[in-house]
Amino acid sequence: MLDLSESQARMNILAELQNRFRTALQGLVDDPTELLAMVRPSQDPKFGDYQANFAMSLGKRLGRPPRDVATEVAARLAIDDLCDPPEVAGPGFINLRLKTGWLAGAVSTALASERVGVATADPPRTYVVDYSSPNVAKPMHVGHIRSTVIGDVLKHTLRFLGHTVISDNHIGDWGTQFGMIIYGYKHFLDRPAYESRSVEELGRLYRVVNRLVGYYAAKESLPKLREQIEKQRAAVAAQAQVVPSGDKAADKNAAKALRRGESNLQELEASRAALAASIAEIDHDPHLSKLAQAHPDIGRDVLAETAKLHQGDAENLKLWSEFLPACLADIERIYQRLGVTFDVTLGESFYHDRLAGVVDDLLKRKIATISDGAVCVFNEGQAAPLIIRKQDGAFLYGTTDLATIQYRVETWSPDAVLYVVDHRQGLHFEQLFAAAKRWKPEYARLELQHISFGTVLGDDGRPFKTRSGDTVGLWGLLDEAVRRAHEVVSTGDDAKPGGPEISAERRQQIAEVVGIGALKYADLANNRTSDYTFSYDRMLAMNGNTATYMQYAYARVLSIFARGGVEIGALREQAAAIELGHPAERGLALSLLQFSEALEQTMAEYRPNFLTAYLFEVANRYSTFFEQCPVLKAPSEASRTSRLLLCDLTARTLKQGLALLRIDVVDKM
């Protein structure tokens, strides 16, 4: 082993270059932060490895020509241990090319490091990551996978970077869905089914009650919706009547408004059709329509059951504590298969006893006010208040979230709390954060972030559903991904030139890793704030930005070692020199050494797709290297060793990166 301590073996190239620029800028500007953000990896190798683009903005500040400023900064830059002499190009870009010898040394350093050269954060912070957080007693669906998968990556990446992280599954275990199953239990229970398979029976009760409640709600809202549609139709008709004025911009705007109006109308009509269909479904089902008729007040009664639970009614509390473990066991099954664990699972019920105190304190501090009998927090610039107690005395989602902040600060004194929750709750979190920050100075200092994400869509562009119209159950989704992965793995193995190499049992294990990995990766590789279209075929593609491609690249490296009879561990110990004479070797090395900055960038915006993009880049660079640089048949022994070590660092970087994405690798595919 090279004699290097872990701390020396960590390198964030970008941060190091920025440091050098910081020194060079001393005396020229007071605060170089903004300028330093303009030092970045080059888009094109023509412009070197990194480029500083701040001379235009600095020139403006100093009232001097940018090229002059760039030349002066380049001359002040003490960087010749790292880079070739900087070049000033165009209007004042400073192009930096790392010395190939320095890169080779840095690769050796990374090879000798357990952390493949990744630097740790300084100073470390404490994070609470609130993710997954399903409402239990409802079946988990595809929407929950996003929060679970994204949150888990944030947790593990932050931890890898040296931060303290508490993962908290803030389950909904206290809401109306429990009122629903309590009501269902009291009226529709199939006792033998409950005794043999309680979770399924609770799920059935939830669905029955939910449909009946939905039936009456739909009946109630249909007339209002009809009215809205009529209004919208009239508005569109009026818009269509507008005679073009001849003013281009105005006519363009009018046309746009008309299109928007039409699409709103279409959406309203689609909702009406959906409502009407859901009503008809019950009306046409003899069993359900009879139930509906027998329970005309089910909506109100379900709320009453929930309220009784919250008020400590003995019977409902007993039922709740009987149901909860079954519900938790059900979601645990999914977590186990996804390899997800939480440090704590503190659901909404945990905070129940704090809620009255929270409301009183906010009233006392005059942050909350009473409006129409409800207790509200009005925040500046927000259209609606955060309601924390209803007229009838009931507490709300936001009350619990405020109590949760209080508890988390008391318990862990975090620097930041991240909430990985879908974008529809954006307003809620805006209201919550604003209220919390006004509540106490220690909350004002907290970094509170809504890590928002988009919807998973089906081929039709609507939220992903099965044919029967239910949102897709997560378990079935995982099964299908694994089944298809099995096909991919089997086809690949059957086609091997020397015949299949993998046993039936091992194929099944690999399929599980590949299938689950594909599903997670497909989610993570999408910009989290956009919607994305779910596709098994795309996620399992052997080529492209998929986990499968990455896992395959990894397995391919291992197969080189196997074919060459290479003891990679022993080779690593020798600390042989790294040769980067070929551009593909150099390109791969540079990519591998950018892991640290990729992770930092990923966490700066909490965007796992930055990490997937980085790994994709590494895999592509590896592919180019592999095509252009023979490894086992390298021109010399020294080159063979160096290339094997580059393969080793590639495999370890991919493995570590995938591990942070919570995706496993296999040694054979």
Length in residues, the chain? 669
Given a contact cutoff of 8 angstroms between Cβ atoms, the answer to whether 184 and 209 are in contact is yes
Nearer to ligand ARG by Cβ, of 160 and 350: the residue is 350
Distances (CA, A) of 193 to 204, 353, 454: 10, 34, 37
- In DSSP notation, 4-36 reads --TTTT---HHHHHHHHHHHHHBTTBS--HHHH
Nearest to 400 by CA among 470, 346, 327: 346
Contact 279, 222 (CB under 8 A): yes
* Sole window of 127-135, 213-221, 449-457, 529-537 interacting with ligand ARG (rule: CB under 6 A): 127-135
- Binding-residue total with ligand ARG (CB under 6 A): 10
Tell me whether residue 172 or residue 608 sits nearer to ligand ARG (CB atom).
172
CB of 544 to ligand ARG, least distance (A): 32
Measured CA to CA, the distance from residue 100 to residue 455 in angstroms comes to 45
Quote the crossing angle between the two packed helices 397-412 and 355-364, to the nearest 10°. Answer: 90
**Region of 107-115, 126-134, 210-218, 549-557 interacting with ligand ARG (CB under 6 A):** 126-134
533: β partners: 457
C-beta of 183 vs 419, nearer to ligand ARG: 419
Pull the structure tokens for residue 34.
């903004």
- Cβ–Cβ < 8 Å for 463, 531: no
Considering beta carbons, is residue 137 or 631 the nearer one to ligand ARG? 137
* Cβ atoms of 581 and 636 closer than 8 Å: no
Written as six digits, the tokens of 359 are: 């409301």
144 or 507, CB closer to ligand ARG? 144
| Residue whose CB is less far from ligand ARG, 35 or 140 | 140
Write the binding mask 354 to 393 for ligand ARG: x where contact by CB under 6 A, - elsewhere: ----------------------------------------
Task: Determine the residue type at 507.
Answer: R
Instruction: Give the range of 103-111, 133-141, 619-627, 645-653 binding ligand ARG by CB under 6 A.
Output: 133-141
Closest CA to 83 of 51, 46, 107, 120: 51
Check binding of 152 to ligand ARG (CB under 6 A).
no
Give φ, ψ of 368 to 5 degrees.
-100, 150
**Which residue stretch of 92-100, 129-137, 257-265, 589-597 sits at the interface with ligand ARG (rule: CB under 6 A)?**
129-137
Q: How many CB atoms lie within 10 A of CB 284?
A: 9
Cβ closer to ligand ARG: 130 or 152? Answer: 130
Tokens encoding 128: 């609470």
For residues 161 to 190, the per-residue mask of contacts with ligand ARG, x marking binding by CB under 6 A and - elsewhere, is ---------x-x------------------
Min dist CB 401 to ligand ARG, Å, is: 5
**Interface with ligand ARG (CB under 6 A), residue from 305, 401, 523, 600:** 401
349 binds ligand ARG (CB under 6 A): no
Rounded to 5°, angle at Cα 595 from 594 and 596: 90
Site string for ligand ARG, 271-290 (x = CB under 6 A): --------------------
Q: Which of 133, 148, 609, 656 binds ligand ARG (CB under 6 A)?
A: 133
For ligand ARG, the closer of residues 232 and 399 by Cβ is 399
Residue from the set 134, 139, 203, 657 that interacts with ligand ARG by CB under 6 A: 134
Strand partners, 129: 167, 418
Task: Give the strand pairing for 369-371 and 50-52.
Answer: unpaired
Q: Is 443 in the site for ligand ARG (CB under 6 A)?
A: no
DSSP per-residue codes, 346-407: --GGGGGGGHHHHHHHHHHTTSSEEETTEEEE--TT-SSPEEEE-TTS-B-HHHHHHHHHHH
> Is residue 419 at the binding interface for ligand ARG, with CB under 6 A as the rule?
yes
Is 133 or 176 the residue whose CB approaches ligand ARG more closely?
Answer: 133
Stretch that binds ligand ARG, among 64-72, 130-138, 193-201, 236-244 (CB under 6 A): 130-138
- Cβ-based nearer residue to ligand ARG, 59 or 151: 151
For 136, 202, 284, 408, the CA distances from 195, given in Å and listed in that order, are 20, 11, 31, 38
Q: Can you spell out the DSSP letters for 316-344? A: HHHHHHHHHHHHHHHHHHHHHHHT---SB
Supply the minimum distance, in Å, between the C-beta of residue 146 and ligand ARG: 12
| 404 versus 545: smaller Cβ distance to ligand ARG | 404
Identified binder of ligand ARG from the candidate list 130, 330, 512, 600, rule CB under 6 A: 130
Binding site for ligand ARG (CB under 6 A): 130, 133-135, 170, 172, 401, 404, 419, 421
